[in-house]
């Protein structure tokens, strides 16, 4: 986003280089983190001696970056100043700052156990509620800002133009929030996030419609041909709109799965059942299956019959996988029933000698739409980075000098 401001207005040169250096440094730090055991994580590798080497690379990267930025700062001054807060470049910069704040918050929360141990000699782990409470509002602000920034002009806008352009996104935001509240959505975070996502999706689709309508008016093309022509003409712009659309779809799915998740636990003998999120899960019994490869010694599976509204959905078989070299560290085998509306996750927590099993189940709404949104997001990124076809140049005919005559 900030690179667009640099290309269009010659601004943020120093900031963009700083972001490039920071991105590389964070990639090195992430490798150092999982290789050194600095923070306990399921993503961490076994302890090794390579951590100090990555730490050295990180220190060199930060040192060289700061020296280069200080050395070249005089040549990286902006060509123009900001002319108005109500402009596209201003919205892109605030958008950039929000992304940076998100990165710093996540980095700080990741390292908080280390800092707490250094200061208080107690390792305090940051859990999911912190991220929901802190990151959630920042993401909502980001969604609204993207929607608003899409309709703002570059440099500056007259008051009448500004009101006319902001009328659509702000009206959709207020209208969708009121409609969601009328439909029974009472969670404030979910209402704000979904309303912001709807606004972003509407503004993005509206840009496609406006662009395609202009192509149709100019050349009489069909709607599919006009939409395709938009991407051929400006892949970066309309590929970016696809990224925005994918982000809106993913945001709705993540909020739904976070706020409206259902979960339940049952300690069941064969033939007993429990309910979760409108599903009835009946435990039929345990069975053992011998391992075949990858060091697997055996697998213990629980047969769980799933019904919804009295109708059979299917049978799931969550279980535990035991390895020959690490029999005391079994791996959970989660079984999932996937649908357009929601996903049902079932896993086997444990069992006793009498065959009584502890089964946990989760119902996460709209998880399929998270994958759909991710696909749209990735497709938009591919379009953005695809090379723009060169436009053919038609040579202009030479104009004869004044008074010259053409020979026969």
- Compute the mean pLDDT over every residue in the chain, rounded to the nearest whole number: 85
61 contacts: CB under 8 Å, gap ≥ 6: 21, 24, 25, 28
Residue of 240, 162, 256, 232 whose CA lies nearest to 207: 240
| Residue 397: pLDDT band with limits 50, 70, 90 | low
Non-local (6+) Cβ contacts of 43 within 8 A are 34
Within a 10 A sphere around the Cβ of 227, how many other Cβ atoms?
Answer: 17
Cα–Cα dist 347/260, whole Å: 20
pLDDT of residue 406: 47
**Domain residues of the chain, as ranges?**
1-81, 83-233, 263-368
| pLDDT tens-digit series, residues 198-217 | 999 999 999 999 989 888 88
- Cβ atoms of residues 272 and 266 within 8 Å: yes
| 32-36, 51-55, 287-291, 402-406: which is most confident | 287-291
Mean local confidence (pLDDT), 43-59? 72
Report the C-alpha gap between 138 and 99 in whole angstroms. 9
Find the helix or strand (DSSP H, E) in which 176 lies: helix 159-182
The per-residue pLDDT for range 107-135, each reduced to its tens digit, is: 888 888 888 888 887 888 888 888 888 88
Give Cα 136 to chain centroid, integer Å.
Answer: 12
């Amino acid at each position: 986003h900030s690179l667009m401001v640099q290309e269009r207005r010659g601004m943020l040169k120093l900031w963009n280089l700083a972001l490039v250096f920071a991105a590389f440094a964070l990639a090195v730090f992430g490798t150092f983190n999982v290789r050194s055991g600095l923070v306990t994580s399921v993503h961490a590798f076994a302890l090794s001696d390579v951590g100090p080497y990555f730490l050295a690379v990180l220190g060199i990267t930060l040192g060289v970056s700061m020296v280069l930025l200080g050395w070249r700062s005089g040549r990286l001054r902006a060509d123009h100043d900001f002319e108005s807060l109500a402009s596209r470049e201003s919205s892109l910069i605030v958008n950039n700052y929000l992304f940076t704040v998100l990165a710093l918050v996540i980095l700080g929360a990741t390292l908080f156990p280390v800092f707490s141990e250094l200061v208080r000699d107690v390792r305090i782990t940051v859990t999911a509620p912190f991220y929901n409470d802190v990151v959630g509002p920042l993401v909502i602000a980001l969604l609204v800002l993207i929607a608003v920034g899409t309709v703002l002009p570059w440099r500056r806008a007259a008051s009448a133009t500004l009101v006319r352009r902001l009328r659509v996104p702000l009206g959709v935001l207020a209208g969708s929030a009121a409609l969601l509240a009328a439909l029974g959505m009472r969670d404030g975070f979910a209402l704000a996030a979904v309303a912001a996502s709807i606004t972003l999706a509407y503004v993005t689709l509206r840009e496609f419609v406006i662009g395609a309508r202009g192509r149709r008016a100019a050349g009489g093309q069909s709607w599919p041909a006009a939409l395709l022509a938009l991407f051929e003409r400006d892949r970066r712009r309309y590929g970016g709109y696809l990224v925005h659309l994918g982000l809106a779809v993913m945001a709705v799915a993540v909020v739904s799965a976070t706020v409206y998740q259902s979960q339940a636990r049952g300690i069941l003998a064969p033939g007993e059942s429990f309910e979760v999120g409108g599903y009835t899960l009946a435990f039929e019994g345990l069975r053992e299956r011998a391992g075949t490869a990858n060091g697997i010694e055996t697998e213990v599976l629980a047969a769980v019959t799933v019904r919804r509204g009295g109708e059979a959905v299917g049978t799931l078989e969550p279980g535990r996988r035991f390895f020959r070299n690490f029999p005391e560290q079994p791996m959970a085998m989660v079984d999932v029933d996937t649908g357009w509306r929601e996903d049902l996750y079932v896993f086997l927590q444990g069992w006793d000698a009498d065959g009584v099993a502890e089964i946990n189940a989760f119902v996460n709404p709209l998880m399929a739409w998270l994958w759909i949104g991710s696909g749209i997001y990735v497709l938009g990124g591919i379009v953005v980075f695809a090379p723009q076809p060169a436009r053919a140049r038609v040579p202009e005919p030479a104009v004869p000098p004044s008074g010259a005559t053409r020979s026969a």
